[in-house]
Amino acid sequence: MTIPALGLGTFRLKDQVVIDSVATALELGYRAVDTAQIYGNEAEVGQAVAASGIGRDQLFITSKIWTENLAADKLIPSLKDSLGKLRSDYLDLTLIHWPSPKGAVPVSEFMGALAEAQKQGLTRQIGVSNFTIDLLRQAIEEVGKDAIATNQIELHPYLQNRTLVDFMHSQGIAVTSYMTLGYGKVLQDPVIQQIAAQHHATPAQVTLAWAMQLGYAVIPSSTRRENLAGNLKARELKLSDEDMGKIAALDSGLRLTSPEGLAPAWD
């Protein structure tokens, strides 16, 4: 199973807002939805998915295990709780959301528990999020590189994370880019805007197309129907080598997400 190139993110969306976003996205043709235990919206996502009437086998649902649930005796029970909220017997992809703060729970322990969850049929694929090269190496040592479907990381034109991406490519681990639009900062960039004008596209479409053209999966979120529809159209946009080169040159190492107490020592 491959990870869909474009899915719907639900970070920071709560209550009726997330229900409406997921419902609209599914109506427009999205079939991948990304949530997490810490988002506090798994039940609402599950409600919207159930109401859509779309068969479970047509959907790709991802959630993430929060740091408080990384211990071997907590991970699987917490995943079962997530499944109950999502009204599903399984997830298509389950990720470790952040590495354990200060290494309180060893990588070997939570990756072993995640692999056991997969063995029990609770999740089709497993992976990680916000992992560095060192942490990925530890995860690979426990479960093998072929078991790790993806590492979901902050990645946008201003933070292209090339050292980490190169390592992931060498191990056959897919890249999922979160915050691909850089909290909207990227959309104001003159280079992105110029490329968008040339293609009669939006800056968001250009940015998402750039990431997908590099082989990354993207999970942008939106509450507006026109933006949800516009983001879907990014799959049809083909950028030239010159366009890609111009965007490559925008990398400035600008990291927007690095929560104190959670963030590892970044590469």
Q: Given the structure tokens 């491959």, which residue do they identify?
A: 2
Position 84, amino acid: G
Known catalytic membership, residue 39: yes
- How far does Cα 50 stand from its chain's mean position? 22
Q: Given the structure tokens 């209550």, which residue do they identify?
A: 15
**Cβ distance 235 to 141 under 8 Å?**
no
Q: Which of 39, 158, 178, 216 is catalytic?
A: 39
Task: Name the H helices within the chain.
Answer: 15-28, 42-52, 72-86, 107-119, 133-143, 162-171, 190-198, 203-213, 225-233, 241-248
Q: Alpha-carbon distance 8 to 26, whole Å? A: 9
Q: Is 97 annotated as a binding residue?
A: yes
Annotated binding site: 97
Residues taking part in catalysis: 39
Annotated binding site for substrate: 97
